[in-house]
Structure 1
């Protein structure tokens, strides 16, 4: 009884397997996409018999079961290694006139095929073998028309900088190329100060300088002097012509006159020197003097300004004189005559007006020191000064 019941089930299963084996070739033809490739070109007669339908084809009948075929799909000897189906338009193809078994690889044209509406849900791409497909003879106008990025051109290497390039970038600045022709002026009372002397009461000193002219040619005026105990001990004035000889440097030539006081004689000298800004921003003045009876002197001065803030500025100063001969009438001895050094701290309420305080040390040397001792004067002196600096 059990055997009789199992016989109908076995007979039914065998019948189903027989039907599946019979219809397997037809099912494989429907899932085979060889008709979308060069092997599926319709004949000339078929193309003339039926015009191309511009509407998108309905590929619903190409939908395959979710279960892949038992064996991988083969596309003959065609090569899909470099083919891109994203830009192919199958919208104008007529699949009604195409025969599933017909293949014409040499004349197939996929330029108007559109795969966007095809149902590939049942296809298993892993089983497809495209290694042998050859699309060399296919017309891919749609693929050829795709905008592809242009190949970047090779850039030329940066040339090596040569000495000629450096010379062109940094021309020689020794010669003045352009200069303003306008007339300008500068007037400065660099030091106007006073101090409290121990024996002579109050002392006072000044140093002034000015120039008028253009960038190349200027008229320089300089003066300095000192008073102590109510009388003027020394005073001089210089009138010089200045000519620019290098960036930041002028050569000067002119006349210096020393005034005589308390019955002392006056002296006049020819002057020749330089004025400029040395490296590290040292302001330098050096002048040689030639006077009567072959008297030759040299005076030099250097200043340096130290900025603590934009308004609080410290000024260092050192100056000295030397003479070739003794001149007892004016208290000058041969050799190094005197040296003065000082530091002044000023506060610029305005750039053109700045009061200051400072300390100054002065010492006489050689024959000049001897003359001071003979007159019961001090050879060296240190004093606290207060003054003002003005320019316009």
Structure 2
């Protein structure tokens, strides 16, 4: 039985096995002819930059943005400024005139004691002169409130006013002043002023200016009428020898309106005036 089984195994047909072996021997893989470009490979992702940066902690934020004490930016001590914005000769119809517009202050970044003065002298006679003493208080980076007194010396008899208003720069480089006045006998007035520096070069600066004055009541003794009393406009071209000293030339135009113009006509005076000006601007 065992011998028969052995004979049967020796008689098995190994042709199928030989055929498979021959196929394996004569059909090798042709690697040289394969197109590797068409093979799809999984994308290789670069490491994320955020993966190498540790997250910010509260300690990091506290170190970068430390808490500041109240008004830390305004603890710079007291300072002062004197500015002669206009100190000029004017070619007036009545003769040569000397006009001034000066201001200054002393104090810190929040509260200051300030003054303003403007006026005009023609042929040695004072036509207009006033002085304001004000306390200014900063209410923002670009604005401050003012309050104080104004004293008029000319025209007419001296007159005292209470003054309050705001001043600042609503736009970059545009300086504005809006001041209300309460005077004797129930008189009140409002003044609006603006000036703007246009930098033509590093030394040449063009400065337009404007001023409006309004009054609530007629004041014939001082030649002032109610409503819009007068308006003045000017343009000055200055050359800054340095930042603190600059000669200039320019032209100004002034006109009276309403009741003020009527009072001037009654005195046979002109209601408008155009002047050539030349002067210096300096500060320290």
Output one character per residue of 1:359-384: Cα deviation in whole Å (capped at 9) or x when no partner.
10000111211222222221101111
Do structure 1's residue 265 and structure 2's residue 157 form an aligned pair? Answer: yes
Give the number of aligned pairs: 233
Do structure 1's residue 366 and structure 2's residue 258 form an aligned pair? Answer: yes
> What is the DSSP-based 3-state SS (H/G/I as helix, E as strand, rest coil) of the residue aligned with 2:218?
coil
What are structure 1's unaligned runs of at least 5 residues? 1-70, 75-80, 82-124, 127-149, 158-174
1:240 maps to which of 128, 134, 144: 134
- Structure-2-length-normalised TM-score: 0.75
Pairwise CA RMSD: 2.7
Partners of 1:187 and 1:384 lie apart in 2 by 25
Do structure 1's residue 210 and structure 2's residue 104 form an aligned pair? Answer: yes
Bigger mean CA offset, 226-235 vs 285-294: 226-235
> What is the DSSP-based 3-state SS (H/G/I as helix, E as strand, rest coil) of the residue aligned with 1:178?
helix
How much does 1:296 deviate? 0.9
Partners of 2:96 and 2:45 lie apart in 1 by 89
> What is the DSSP-based 3-state SS (H/G/I as helix, E as strand, rest coil) of the residue aligned with 1:247?
coil
Partner of 1:319: 211
> What is the DSSP-based 3-state SS (H/G/I as helix, E as strand, rest coil) of the residue aligned with 2:154?
coil
Partners of 1:331 and 1:229 lie apart in 2 by 20
Q: Greater Rg, structure 1 or structure 2?
A: 1
What are structure 2's unaligned runs of at least 5 residues? 1-21, 33-43, 52-69
Partners of 2:48 and 2:191 lie apart in 1 by 67
Partner of 1:28: none
> What is the DSSP-based 3-state SS (H/G/I as helix, E as strand, rest coil) of the residue aligned with 2:109?
coil
> What is the DSSP-based 3-state SS (H/G/I as helix, E as strand, rest coil) of the residue aligned with 1:225?
strand
How much does 1:230 deviate? 2.5
Task: Kindly report which structure 2 residues correspond to 1:144-183, keeping only aligned pairs within 5 A, or say none.
Answer: 153=47, 178-183=73-78
Moved over 4 A (4+): 150-157
Partner of 1:390: 282
Partners of 2:89 and 2:166 lie apart in 1 by 29
Higher RCO (Cα < 8 Å, 6 or more apart): 2
- Structure-1-length-normalised TM-score: 0.55
> What is the DSSP-based 3-state SS (H/G/I as helix, E as strand, rest coil) of the residue aligned with 2:279?
strand
Partners of 2:100 and 2:154 lie apart in 1 by 17
